[in-house]
Each structure stands twice: as structure tokens, then as C-alpha cells.
Amino acid sequence: MAEYSRVAKGNFTATGTSQNVILPFVPDFVEIWNYSNIKTAAANSVARAWWDNKLVDGNNNPTMLEIYNNSSAVVFDTIQTNGISTYSAGLSQQYGSSFSISGITKASQAVVTTTAAHGYSVGTTVILEGIALGTTNNMQLLNGVPFTIVSVGSTTQFTINWNTSLSTYTAISGSPSGAIVKQVLYPFLYAPGDNVIMSVSQAANASVATTMYHNFEPGQIIAFRVPNFWGMTQLNSLPNVLIPGQPIYGYVLSVTDNWTFVCSINTSAYTAFTTNATMTATTLVGLSYSQVLAVGDVNTGGIINGLSASNLYPSPQFPTSTNRVSTITGPAVRGAFVNNTSQGFVIGNGDANIDTSAAVTIIANGNIVYWRASLSDYANP
């Protein structure tokens, strides 16, 4: 290692057959150990894998593997494609491959069915397009909204947080032309971010549900933007009729889950929030969605007055499907936006191009995986 080289290491418990690892740099070498497979040898499984950016054998993300073959014997230096690769999210959204949609159910949480295996997991964020265009079916409201997947029913089905059981929605079937879904590769470029609202309760402390992970923490300052179509316009932060020019803010009191939180605003006497308003020929013209967003005084994070360990200045976090992870930008005032443009490496789900009796994946759901990544400031050309 030279003077300005970087090294990071860690571990995770896999929630599927692929994993993103976020780092403060883009590595040029990655090494992982599948501790679960090392501890208990299993046929057709990976014990260790490593990748270097100098690998140039024409494969897609070629990765060197140490595996257990179909006889549970160790095989060294096997090359597999679709293995470890690096990524760096840009300043705008990037998308994965598109899949045609064959149907969407009429349910309290809509189930989307694709015509081919989608490869998504809980926590994947997707966008739907081309749904029920040119009709009065409120399924059109699903278009263009970022949804973080709630559950995965099968290789071709997943559930999103939107209530389509209401009277203005009609189930989608028959693989309508142009109806697609695509993954948002790096949805949390900024944390906490703006969130599309799915529902707001009428209560002394309103419960708010969003379509994707909201990223909020207790104590966060929030504001609402609610166009007339959605009903509860009293939530709007502007205008403040009591103090002109001063916005109306609320506080996050508690986090129910990654999609739901409770805030300090009393909505008991407010107009009901609805996603069931009647669609007309002109409704979609200029239609804006209801949003809830964080407000604050800084947007870069950092240590404030030296109180880095104080609960008043927590390190901003973003959620995963199983827990909440601190960003790398340090403490910040609650409510502030934090630049969370992601970079790091991805462990792919591998392929079947290995001489064993079954396909070999690098990681599997529940595997305990240790990793080490580095970036050298000196390398031979």
C-alpha cells in the first residue's frame, strides 16, 4: 500500500443472492469470505471470491472463486461471470433492465406480476410505467412513482405499498402493451429525500405511509406538499395563515417501519387524505403527487460544535430491508439533507458456468459474509 491507499472491511448477512456494499471510495480489489459455507461445507457453494479491476478475460465482471464442487471438494481459481463489480451512482437516477407487466391486483397492497423473472428482493426500489394509459382507471396513479418492494411472492411477483382495493381502481391483466417495471439502481442519492405519500391518518398524531423507504428518524423536522387532488391540503407547510411567510412544520415522533412513521401534526379535523379521487380526462394534466420531505439548516453533514457524539446531532441514516445504516458523511442536524450518492461494489448472483452438478451462487439468503476492499494509489499500468 502507498501513502494514500484506502482499505475497508466489514460483514453482512445476505438477504438474497446479491448485495450492494456502500463505500467512501470505488475499490480496485475486493475479496470476500462466505463464512457460512466455510464453517459448514456444502456442495456447489462458494467459500471465497476475489476480484481485481485488472481482470481482462472478456467476461462480464469476471470473479475468481474458491468453491465446493458437487462432491464438497474444494476447487480453486474458478472464473465466474456476473460476480463482483464496482459501481458509482451519478447525480441523476439510473435504471436497470425493464420487465413487461402481465398484471396488477386490486388489493390493499398491490401485487405486480411480470412476464419474466424480475430478480427483485425486499428493499429494491422500482418504477412502473405505461399502466392503464388513456382510461379512468386509477391504476394510472402508479406510473412514475418510486416504490420500495414490500415483499416478493415469487420470481415473477412482488408487492408495493399502494392501496388499489378502492372503487376507482380496476385490476390489470392480460399483459397490456407498454406496461413495464424497472429498478431504480441507486434510489437514495440524497437522504432523507422526498417521499411520495400513500396515506395519512386522521389522528391526534398522524400516521403517514410512503411508497418507498422514507429515511426519517425520530426528531426529524418535516414538511408536507399536498395538491388538491389528494384531499388533506391542511397539511401544506405553506401558507401559514397565522404567521404569514412562516412555514408549518412537524416532527417525526416515531418510526413504525421503513414505509411508515408517526408525526406531531394533529389531523383529526382535517379533510381525509385519499387516493380514490375520481379520475377525469383532465386530472392527469399537471398532476402532482403528495410529498413529505425533511427540512433543516445544513445539507452536507459534518461535526457541529464538536458534538459529534451527541444525540442532538446523529449521523444521518438510510434504511435497508433489515436495519438502518449510517451514512459516511458524519453527524448533521436532524432534518438536514445529506449527500448520499452511492459508490462501492456489488456481489452479483453469479451464473451456472461452473463444472458442478448445479448452479453456484456466490452468496445465498442467510449467508454470513465477510469482505475486504481496497483502492491503491499506485498500480503498474
pLDDT of residue 292: 93
Query: Residue 63 CA to chain centroid, in angstroms?
Result: 25
pLDDT of residue 337: 56
Positions in the chain short of pLDDT 50: 1, 58, 298-313, 333-335
Contacts of 227 (CB under 8 A, 6+ apart): 233, 287, 288, 289, 290
Whether the CB-CB separation of 319 and 328 falls below 8 Å is answered with: no
Residues of the chain with CATH 2.40.30.180: 95-184, 189-340
Q: Side-chain half-sphere of 368: how many Cα atoms within 13 Å?
A: 5
Contacts of 88 (CB under 8 A, 6+ apart): 26, 342, 343
pLDDT of residue 358: 59
Task: For the chain, give the percent of residues with pLDDT over 70.
Answer: 76
pLDDT of residue 306: 42
Whether the CB-CB separation of 171 and 105 falls below 8 Å is answered with: yes
Q: How many CB atoms lie within 10 A of CB 229?
A: 18
pLDDT of residue 379: 60
Model confidence pLDDT, tens digit, residues 12-52:
998 777 788 888 788 989 999 999 988 887 777 888 888 88
pLDDT of residue 270: 96
What Rg value do the Cα atoms of the chain yield, rounded?
23
Q: How many CB atoms lie within 10 A of CB 326?
A: 12
Top CATH class of 95-184 equals mainly beta
pLDDT of residue 72: 66
**Which fold does the domain 189-340 belong to in CATH?**
Elongation Factor Tu (Ef-tu); domain 3 (2.40.30)
The whole-model pTM stands at 0.70
Write down the H helix ranges in 171-305. none
